[in-house]
């Protein structure tokens, strides 16, 4: 780490985290805050159920489609540059959404917000990889996990509070407009606080581990290599004439089309069963994309995604676990809001408050886990998934007991709090372990891949869980609907846990082989 302490963050590192985490919190909050303002939004602009679903999923779709390409662009052109652009795009979309007169304008604005989030998010992960090492990286990802957990839990509370204070009309609009001044401040601080090395591509000499760490304090390397300011961003690291701006447009197009084809059937189910034929077509396009990336690399190009990343087992297993986990977890807050508001008649603020303990416990769990993740490794992630599963099952049992014996539904404060603890122990430790062996020059791309899986999983999961919820609601009422939704979520979390257990077993076998070799 050069002149930066291994255990104490420097002032420069704290500034980097502040600049990154506030806009990332804002972009993730824009997913969860919508859950509680949906009914007022729908009445205000006369939106249909299909249009309202696009408010939820259209944002996540755009978010997911842009992540990998944005991560690649950050690696090539500078993560700070893409981060600030993304924050600006997000602010513009938020302004339009807050003033939208009809469902079409609102949905277009949400897509613009999703594009902005897709641009900024992988840069944050990439800069954590670039400027934090060892235990400090675990702590930084712990703070990132805190942001994720708090944004999920606090969004409904904030949305409900804004509606209670400002009324049905301007309450939901302010949930978007509040992003604009925050984004403007983040842009200004980004220009002032991000180090010079954040504004050039990671193929320069200053992006080695040593240089990246030292650049936090003095923007120069400690071994006599060129400073970031003097390095040329237009040449490949081996000094040949190939420009770094090899953006692989065909690879970008193939991945975007494949992602859209896989996700659209879950977003537009009303078009009929035939639309699910797009899923296998999308899968074929993704396979073609993989083959293209490999061929592009063999021909000497710089592919959008280096498929060698997936040969790193910790990355492959961790990204898979994260993707599956996010298929289930975000749906919890959607169906809880629907059940409390539409089924039990709770006002928006009360419906939002039920997730507050979960947010606080998730934040505390992520902070604690970030400090010890390198000590306990994948065991902590598996334990976190198990605790999250316990919270989901307990929540379903509380609903059943409420409907059967009349116990207070507010007992869900406790069960969702258990869920929050599990979430804090799962997300940030998994992020740290998944990216631990990834070279820093792939930090933005690998972060984009991981977050793409999360966003695609979120979009598909919300579509599936809400479809199950509404199907059971029409047949047997809201209590049966939320129990069915919790059941689907529990099965998905179990699948994520199985991936974690497999990776844990792989790690133990690897350690045992290394111990045997050391003894021989």
| CATH code where residue 86 lies | 1.20.1250.20
Pick the last residue of a domain from 257, 287, 303. Answer: 303
Q: Are residues 272 and 337 in the same domain?
A: no
- Whether residue 377 is contained in a domain is answered as yes
Separation of alpha carbons 120 and 79, rounded Å: 9
CA distances from 353 to 36, 217, 346, 442 (A): 11, 42, 11, 40
- Whether residue 233 is contained in a domain is answered as no
What's the pLDDT score for residue 109? 94
> Token digits for 329?
């977890």
What's the pLDDT score for residue 228? 37
What's the pLDDT score for residue 69? 86
What's the pLDDT score for residue 40? 84
Pick the last residue of a domain from 239, 274, 303. Answer: 303
Q: Are residues 270 and 354 in the same domain?
A: no
- Whether residue 216 is contained in a domain is answered as no
What's the pLDDT score for residue 245? 54
Contact 333, 465 (CB under 8 A): no
Pick the last residue of a domain from 277, 303, 329. Answer: 303
Greatest C-alpha distance within the chain: 74
Q: Are residues 356 and 388 in the same domain?
A: yes
- Whether residue 238 is contained in a domain is answered as no
Q: Which regions of the chain are under pLDDT 70?
A: 1-7, 35, 152-153, 202-246, 267, 269-270, 520
pLDDT digits (tens, 9 = 90+) for 137-186: 888 888 887 787 777 667 777 888 888 888 888 999 999 999 999 999 99
Q: Are residues 156 and 70 in the same domain?
A: yes
How many independent structural domains does the chain possess?
2
What's the pLDDT score for residue 239? 39
pLDDT digits (tens, 9 = 90+) for 73-113: 888 888 999 999 999 999 999 999 999 998 889 999 999 99
Least Cα distance to 460 among 273, 264, 316 occurs for: 264
Q: Are residues 279 and 326 in the same domain?
A: no
Contact 64, 263 (CB under 8 A): yes
- Whether residue 240 is contained in a domain is answered as no
Burial call 164-194: b when 16+ CB within 10 Å, e when fewer: eeeebebbbbbbbebbbebbeebbebbeebb
Q: What angle do CA 117, 73, 257 make, to 5 degrees?
A: 70
Burial call 216-249: b when 16+ CB within 10 Å, e when fewer: bbebbbeeebebbeebebeeeeeeeeeebebbbe
Q: Are residues 341 and 472 in the same domain?
A: yes
The mean predicted confidence, pLDDT, of the chain is 83
SS (H, E, C) 240-304: CCCCCCCCCHHHHHHHHHHHHHHHHHHHCHHHCHHHHHHHHHHHHHHHHHHHHHHHHHHCCCCCC
Q: Are residues 450 and 346 in the same domain?
A: yes
Separation of alpha carbons 153 and 359, rounded Å: 4
Q: Are residues 295 and 310 in the same domain?
A: no
Q: Are residues 191 and 274 in the same domain?
A: no
- Whether residue 4 is contained in a domain is answered as no
φ/ψ (deg, to 5) at 204:
-75, 165
Q: Are residues 372 and 489 in the same domain?
A: yes
Structural domain containing residue 272: 248-303
CA 161 from chain center: how many Å? 25
- Whether residue 333 is contained in a domain is answered as yes
Q: Are residues 43 and 159 in the same domain?
A: yes
Q: Are residues 309 and 264 in the same domain?
A: no
What's the pLDDT score for residue 309? 85
User: Does the CA dihedral 58-106-42-156 come out positive or negative?
Assistant: positive
* Start-to-end C-alpha separation, the chain: 34
Least Cα distance to 118 among 425, 462, 458, 381 occurs for: 458
Separation of alpha carbons 128 and 136, rounded Å: 9
């Amino acid at each position: 780490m050069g002149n930066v302490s291994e255990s104490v963050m420097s002032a420069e590192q704290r500034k980097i985290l502040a600049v990154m985490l506030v806009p990332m919190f804002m972009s993730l909050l824009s997913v969860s805050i919508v859950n509680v303002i949906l009914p007022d939004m729908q009445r205000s602009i006369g939106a249909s159920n299909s249009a309202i679903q696009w408010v939820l999923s259209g944002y996540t779709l755009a978010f997911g489609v842009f992540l990998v390409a944005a991560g690649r662009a950050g690696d090539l052109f500078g993560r700070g540059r893409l981060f600030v652009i993304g924050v600006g795009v997000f602010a513009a979309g938020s302004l339009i959404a807050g003033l939208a007169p009809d469902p079409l304008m609102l949905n277009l604005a949400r897509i613009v917000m999703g594009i902005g989030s897709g641009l900024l998010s992988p840069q944050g992960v990439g800069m954590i990889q670039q400027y934090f090492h060892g235990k400090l990286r675990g702590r930084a990802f712990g703070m990132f996990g805190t942001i994720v957990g708090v944004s999920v839990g606090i969004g409904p509370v904030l949305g409900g509070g804004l509606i209670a204070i400002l009324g049905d009309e301007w309450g939901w609009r302010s949930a978007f407009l509040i992003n604009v001044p925050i984004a403007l401040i983040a842009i200004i601080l980004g220009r002032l606080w991000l180090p010079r090395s954040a504004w050039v591509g990671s193929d320069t000499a200053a992006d080695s581990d040593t240089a990246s760490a030292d650049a936090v304090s003095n923007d120069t390397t400690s071994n006599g290599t060129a400073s970031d300011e003097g390095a040329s961003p237009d040449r490949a690291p081996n000094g040949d004439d190939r420009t770094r701006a090899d953006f692989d447009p065909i690879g970008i197009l193939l991945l975007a089309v494949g992602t859209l084809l896989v996700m659209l059937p879950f977003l537009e189910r009303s078009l009929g069963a035939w639309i699910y034929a797009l899923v296998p077509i999308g899968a074929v396009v993704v396979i073609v994309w993989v083959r293209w990336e490999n061929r592009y690399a063999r021909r000497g190009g710089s592919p959008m995604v280096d498929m060698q990343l997936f040969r790193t087992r910790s990355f492959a297993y961790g990204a898979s676990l994260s993707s599956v986990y996010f298929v289930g977890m975000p749906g919890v807050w959607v169906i809880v809001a629907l059940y409390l508001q539409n089924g039990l008649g709770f006002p928006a603020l009360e419906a939002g408050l039920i997730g507050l303990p979960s947010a606080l416990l998730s934040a505390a769990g992520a902070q604690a886990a970030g400090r010890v993740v390198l000590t306990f490794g994948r065991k902590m992630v598996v334990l976190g998934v198990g605790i999250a599963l316990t919270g989901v099952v307990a929540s379903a049992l509380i609903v059943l007991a409420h409907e059967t014996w009349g116990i207070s539904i507010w007992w869900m404060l406790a069960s969702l709090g258990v869920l929050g603890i599990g979430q804090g122990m799962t997300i940030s430790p998994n992020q740290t372990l998944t990216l631990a062996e990834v070279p820093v020059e792939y930090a933005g791309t690998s972060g984009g891949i991981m977050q793409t899986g999360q966003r695609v999983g979120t979009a598909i999961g919300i579509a599936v869980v809400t479809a199950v919820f509404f199907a059971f609601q029409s047949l047997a009422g809201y209590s049966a609907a939320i129990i069915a939704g919790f059941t689907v979520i529990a099965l998905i979390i179990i699948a994520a846990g199985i991936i974690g257990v497999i990776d844990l077993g792989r790690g133990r076998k690897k350690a045992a082989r290394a111990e045997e070799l050391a003894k021989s």
